[in-house]
């Protein structure tokens, strides 16, 4: 009799578990994604020009890892493409604080400042970075292009 009760309890437990708990919980669909997985999805969204969706995901990544330069840079790119140049400038500047020798990032930051009509500031920033950077050639090229008004070369 006691054995039958145990069997019945096990059967009922299994029955309720599969009928009351969502099936995706057993299949792993509800697992939280890592920030690296979110970044990979974000790159796809950016390629598809889904900037607002990418912004949402990037903000989630930055909540977990506030000093992640690539997420901050991508956030700046997305804001640039949505026309929010001030926010783009803020995020690109934050990314540059973490990764100050990233020439591509510097180019995009300079182009953003140009959109904000602040080329003098861009020139000063690049000049300051070129003093601190071991490989000065790319930064010297950027300075030359700023002087010659050829900033359009650095479009996103």
Q: What is the pLDDT of residue 21?
A: 47
CB 32 within 8 A of CB 60: no
User: In sequence order, which ranges of 21-102 are alpha helices (DSSP H)?
Assistant: 23-27, 35-47, 51-64, 69-81, 85-98
Q: What is the pLDDT of residue 25?
A: 41
Q: What is the pLDDT of residue 103?
A: 82
Q: Average pLDDT across each block of 10 residues of the chain; the chain has 156 residues. List them in order.
A: 62 54 44 84 95 96 93 96 96 91 85 89 81 72 74 52
Spatial distance between the Cα atoms of 4 and 144, rounded to a whole number of angstroms? 87
Q: What is the pLDDT of residue 76?
A: 96
CB 68 within 8 A of CB 100: no
**Helix%, strand%, coil% for the chain, nearest 5:** 80, 0, 20
Q: What is the pLDDT of residue 23?
A: 41
Spatial distance between the Cα atoms of 19 and 42, rounded to a whole number of angstroms? 35
- Cβ–Cβ contacts within 10 Å for residue 107, how many? 21
Q: What is the pLDDT of residue 84?
A: 97
Spatial distance between the Cα atoms of 123 and 44, rounded to a whole number of angstroms? 33
Q: What is the pLDDT of residue 11?
A: 53
Q: What is the pLDDT of residue 59?
A: 96
Q: What is the pLDDT of residue 79?
A: 97
pTM comes to 0.68
Domains of the chain: 33-99 (1.25.40.10), 101-156 (no CATH)
**DSSP assigned state of 1:** -
């Amino acid at each position: 009799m006691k054995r039958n009760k145990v069997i019945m309890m096990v059967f009922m437990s299994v029955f309720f578990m599969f009928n009351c708990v969502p099936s995706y919980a057993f299949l792993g669909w509800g697992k939280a994604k890592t920030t690296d997985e979110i970044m990979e999805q974000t790159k796809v969204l950016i390629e598809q020009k889904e900037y607002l969706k990418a912004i949402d995901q990037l903000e989630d990544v930055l909540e977990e890892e506030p000093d992640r330069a690539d997420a901050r840079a991508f956030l700046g790119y997305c804001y640039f493409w949505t026309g929010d140049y001030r926010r783009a400038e803020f995020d690109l500047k934050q990314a540059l604080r973490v990764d100050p020798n990233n020439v591509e990032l510097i180019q995009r930051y300079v182009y953003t400042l140009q959109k904000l009509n602040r080329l003098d500031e861009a020139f000063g920033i690049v000049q300051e970075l070129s003093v601190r950077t071991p490989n000065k050639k790319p930064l010297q090229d950027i300075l030359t292009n700023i002087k010659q008004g050829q900033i359009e070369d650095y479009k996103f």
